[in-house]
């Protein structure tokens, strides 16, 4: 990574514009109207990638210093795929109050905040409080990026298997950040029959070992979820979505409905190995690049922030996320097949399509400060 000037400084005249006395005029303009900071500073195109290093990739709680390479990698992807400048910020605290206060104080330097690799359930409260206090987009990619790309793949998988979203019987393995966000976006998209499973089995209102987040999940899925193991939940289920890192027995997958859909997204070891899943499922996707149908967040976050920044959105709404998922799904078009339900991360159309969908949605919802 590097930071480079967007204009040359070749002589004393250039220096007088780039620094004193020229910058004083810009400072005065911003002091008079803070909104022009988006026109005359890097704010309009710069995102903070913020972590505390407590839930890094598949590495877990490795601390802020060790998390920095991942944050730098994220910043590179922002630039490569969305043209968005991103600055990695690793915070040496795991205290929710301290993280929120620190980000709020840093926020004037950025056009958006991408939260990354913060452990559950703290990540939910941190995001919620930042959304409440800031008037710029705040996006926890481990939650919402995963949820958006999962919905995109599911839209096309349902189309391929001639199913309606509202009729799907879905089992989500994992009740962390990704699992909760996937459940939310699937409900918003019309899926009604969802069961969420953790290490103790199906999450339901009768359990007495649930934290606040899992109690909320239990209430939201009470109309369909029934007590039991993951094998019980998968009996005649249409869809398995794995974001847990656990292992699902082959005999449980065998109990799924004909032409099942299996998204085993744990890395590096999917909950169900694709060779096993293919014996029982028509569509199989993973989080890995060495199998077809890679469900990868890079399809989402560059375009979402590109669109949000372009219209100076005040936040990223559920409708904007669904619009992004639909745009990604639509790119597959008539090429839809069992091995192609989601575009490649290197499909150059993705970020543009997502960005346009997000800007259109933001304008419809009145969340765009730049309405044109």
Report the pLDDT averaged over residues 170-199: 96
> Could you say which of 103, 118, 136 is where a domain stops?
136
Tell me the pLDDT tens digit for each residue of 101-149. Answer: 999 999 999 999 999 999 999 999 999 999 999 999 999 999 999 999 9
- Domain extent, residue 71, equals 33-136
Report if residue 246 sits inside a domain. Answer: yes
304 shares its domain with 365: yes
- What is the rounded distance in angstroms from the CA atom of residue 57 to the CA atom of residue 178? 12
79 shares its domain with 190: no
Q: Which residue has the tokens 């019980």?
A: 232
- What is the rounded distance in angstroms from the CA atom of residue 305 to the CA atom of residue 358? 9
- What is the rounded distance in angstroms from the CA atom of residue 259 to the CA atom of residue 163? 10
| pLDDT value of residue 370 | 86
Q: Where are the beta strands (DSSP E) in 182-252?
A: 193-198, 201-202, 239-242
Report if residue 113 sits inside a domain. Answer: yes
pLDDT band for 372, please (50, 70, 90 cuts).
Answer: confident
11: its two tokens: 């002589």
Q: How far is CA 59 from CA 78, 143, 267, 271, in A?
A: 22, 17, 10, 17
Tell me the pLDDT tens digit for each residue of 63-114. Answer: 999 999 999 999 999 999 999 999 999 999 999 999 999 999 999 999 999 9
| Catalytically annotated residue among 74, 184, 214, 321 | 74
Is 117 labelled a binding residue? yes
| pLDDT value of residue 50 | 98
Is 293 labelled a binding residue? no
- What is the rounded distance in angstroms from the CA atom of residue 202 to the CA atom of residue 209? 12
Tell me the pLDDT tens digit for each residue of 235-288. Answer: 999 999 999 878 999 999 999 999 999 999 998 889 999 999 999 999 999 999
215 shares its domain with 188: yes
pLDDT beyond 80 at 58: no
153: its two tokens: 């793949």
CATH of the domain at 113: 3.40.50.10380
| pLDDT value of residue 61 | 96
Query: Number of folded domains in the chain?
Result: 2
Contact 338, 283 (CB under 8 A): yes
Contact 270, 276 (CB under 8 A): no
Annotated catalytic residue 193: no
Annotated catalytic residue 280: no
CATH of the domain at 341: 3.40.50.720
pLDDT more than 90, % of the chain: 93
Is 296 labelled a binding residue? yes
pLDDT band for 328, please (50, 70, 90 cuts).
Answer: very high
DSSP letters along 249-314, please? Answer: -HHHHTTSPTTEEEEE--SSS-SS-HHHHTTTEEEEEES-TTSSSB--GGGTHHHHHHHHHHTTBS
| pLDDT value of residue 57 | 81
Is 97 labelled a binding residue? no
Backbone angles phi, psi at 124, to 5 degrees: -65, -45
> Could you say which of 136, 154, 186 is where a domain stops?
136
Taking the CA atoms of the chain, what radius of gyration do you get in angstroms?
22
| pLDDT value of residue 246 | 85
| pLDDT value of residue 338 | 97
Report if residue 56 sits inside a domain. Answer: yes
Is 45 labelled a binding residue? no
Tell me the pLDDT tens digit for each residue of 21-48. Answer: 999 999 999 999 999 999 999 999 999 9
pLDDT band for 6, please (50, 70, 90 cuts).
Answer: confident
Tell me the pLDDT tens digit for each residue of 290-302. Answer: 999 999 999 999 9
pLDDT more than 70, % of the chain: 100
Report if residue 158 sits inside a domain. Answer: yes
> What is the pTM for the complete model shown?
0.95
Chain mean pLDDT for the chain: 96
234: its two tokens: 């998968």
Report if residue 314 sits inside a domain. Answer: yes
């Amino acid at each position: 990574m590097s930071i480079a000037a967007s204009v040359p400084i070749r002589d004393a005249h250039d220096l007088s514009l780039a620094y004193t006395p020229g910058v004083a005029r810009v400072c005065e303009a911003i002091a008079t109207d803070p909104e022009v900071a988006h026109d005359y500073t890097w704010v309009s195109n710069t995102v903070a990638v913020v972590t505390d290093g407590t839930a890094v990739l598949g590495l877990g709680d490795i601390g802020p210093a060790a998390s920095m390479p991942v944050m730098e990698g994220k910043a590179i992807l922002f630039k490569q795929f969305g043209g968005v400048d991103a600055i990695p910020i690793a915070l040496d605290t795991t205290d929710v109050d301290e993280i929120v206060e620190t980000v709020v104080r840093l926020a004037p330097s950025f056009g958006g905040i991408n939260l990354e690799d913060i452990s559950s359930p703290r990540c939910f409260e941190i995001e919620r409080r930042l959304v409440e206090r800031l008037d710029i987009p705040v996006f926890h990619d481990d939650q919402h990026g995963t949820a958006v790309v999962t919905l995109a793949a599911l839209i096309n998988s349902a189309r391929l298997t001639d199913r309606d979203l509202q009729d799907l019987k879905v089992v989500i393995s994992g009740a962390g950040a990704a699992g909760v966000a996937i459940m939310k976006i699937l409900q918003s998209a019309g899926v009604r029959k969802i069961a969420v499973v953790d290490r103790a089995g199906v999450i339901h209102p009768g359990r007495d070992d649930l934290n606040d987040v899992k109690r909320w999940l239990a209430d939201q899925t009470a109309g369909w979820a029934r007590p039991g193991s993951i094998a019980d939940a998968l009996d005649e289920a249409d869809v398995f979505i794995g974001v847990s890192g656990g292992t699902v027995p082959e005999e449980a997958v065998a109990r799924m409905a004909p032409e099942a859909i299996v998204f085993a997204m744990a890395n590096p070891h999917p909950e169900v190995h694709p060779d096993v899943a293919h014996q029982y499922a028509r569509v199989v996707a993973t989080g890995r690049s060495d199998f077809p149908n890679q469900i990868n967040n890079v399809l989402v976050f560059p375009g979402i922030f590109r669109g949000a920044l372009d219209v100076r959105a005040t936040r990223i709404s559920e409708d904007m996320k669904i619009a992004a998922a639909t745009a990604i799904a639509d790119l597959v078009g008539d090429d839809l097949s069992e091995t192609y339900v989601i575009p490649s991360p290197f499909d150059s159309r993705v970020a543009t399509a997502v960005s346009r969908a997000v800007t259109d949605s933001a304008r419809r919802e009145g969340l765009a400060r730049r309405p044109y």
